[in-house]
Amino acid sequence: MSGLVLIPGLALPWLLGIVALLALRPASRSRPAPGEVAWIAGAGYLAGAFLLTLWMRALSLVGIKFSLLAVGGPLLIATILLGLWVWRRDSTMQAMFSRALPTLRQAMAAPDLTPLARAIWWALLGWLVLRFALLGIEVITRPLYPWDAWIQWATKARVWYELGTIVPFARINEWLAANGTAWYDASPEYPPTMPLLQVWSCLVLGRWDDTLMNGAWWQIAVALALAVYGGLRSLGVTALTALVGAFLVATLPLANVHVALAGYADLPLAAWYTAAVLAFLRWNQQRDWRNVALIVLLLLACTQIKNPGYFWALTLAPALVAVLVPRHGVRIAFAGFAAAIVLMVVVAQFRLNVFNYQIKLDFDPAWGALAQSYFLLGNWHLLWFGVVAAGALAWRHLLAPALAPLTLIVGAGLMFLFFVFAFTNASFYIADQTTVNRATLHLAPLMVVFLVLAWDQFANAWQAAHAPPLAAA
């Protein structure tokens, strides 16, 4: 029962992020757009959780020890004040809250669906609720899982919780030379975001608990599903199709493993990266510059979750070029891809070390093991078959204005994975199906988004081409 005290503590970053996104919402908007409630709830948690860790880093920087009051008190006050400002500013928000139950019922019931589609809707929704309930039980009952969770992430959380501040970690030689001023673990260069979320949970509990401190991973999974549904709806996808997309993201086998065996940073990176891309696509459609702040925050979070986040953030660059230079942007992006390929070959000749990965020109990736991982094993079910099929069906529309930014981002992401598996020592890990799947998890939820949007683009084009003349008119 002591775990119940975690509920308000884990809710604080969620509420903080929600009111922050509501503050960015135009006050003149009459009512929530399709999917907007789910988007604000999902992206809101991701924004709020990262803001919480930034606040903890600021406290450590000025020498204030971590405590429930020091960390949570100012954030609670900020959440209340910002919420009151949003409430007073926006009369529509007051109407929404006064009709909270009918609004929620209307959003869930999807009244525009046919009886068969509504039955599928409720079946998928019930399946998701059951899936998250079972995953929640796993998270709150299973002790911290070994390997990286033990030696790279929770090490920092334990030390920072006990000392009440962020202290440096170092590799063995630096640690020996530090004379007790540094701590040691397997990856001292990793960013502090995920350990700080574990520290926050322990502060709320009032004790170190290597099981209950991992609730953030369950929240991230729920937030990712909400963000995918809301993002797809805001991009014009129907309610049922958007729910199918959220269902596919929430039931990816390896993603579920990373929730149940919480403690790794790969699923969090996937969630923040997917939300950042969806925020970019929403901005491209709406051109509301308020969303730029959210895009920047989510991309910054990617860089502060795991070191590859720097490269994943850069994959949005080709899409940005295509959006800002609509006439020649796609050509410029493809020229950039060609230049990147040349740069790969040049850089690989120098055997550099980047984030402890050795770049080398020994081009001999294990294609058989890679294909087996993607298409034969159970890590992804039929995801990659679906991606190939959707891309083939919608190939005429992949570089159309509606889909080109996402296509370029996906292309850049696949190129990044190809470089890692072909030109670094990570190719060694393809054979044992470890790093290859964890690295692919960063991109997998976005591939579901691509699958859904490509299929939707094809379906709309096919329907328009085969509609009766009177209906088309």
One-letter amino acid at 111 equals P
Output the pLDDT for position 155: 94
Phi/psi of residue 424, nearest 5 degrees:
-130, 170
Q: How far apart are CA 115 and CA 248, in angstroms?
A: 22
The alpha carbons of the chain give a radius of gyration, in whole angstroms, of 23
Q: How far apart are CA 229 and CA 237, in angstroms?
A: 9
Mean pLDDT by 10 residues, the chain (473 residues): 76 95 78 87 97 97 95 96 86 56 56 80 94 94 87 94 94 82 88 96 94 95 97 93 96 94 95 97 86 94 94 94 87 87 72 64 67 85 92 89 93 88 66 77 96 92 69 49
- Strand partners of residue 354: 357
Q: Which of 302, 307, 279 is nearest to 291 (CA)?
A: 279
Output the pLDDT for position 362: 60
Q: Which residue do the tokens 């949005």 mark?
A: 316
Output the pLDDT for position 89: 79
Output the pLDDT for position 359: 65
Per-residue buried b or exposed e for 74-97, using 16+ beta carbons within 10 Å of the residue's own CB? ebeeebeebbeebeeebebbeebe
Domain boundaries, the chain: 2-99+121-275, 278-466
Cβ atoms within 10 A of the Cβ of 323, count?
19
Phi/psi of residue 96, nearest 5 degrees:
-60, -45
Phi-psi region of 164 (alpha: psi -120 to 50; beta: other; left: phi over 0): left
Q: Which of 50, 125, 76, 129 is nearest to 294 (CA)?
A: 50
Q: State both tokens at 319.
A: 């899409």
Alpha carbon of residue 285 to chain centroid? 20
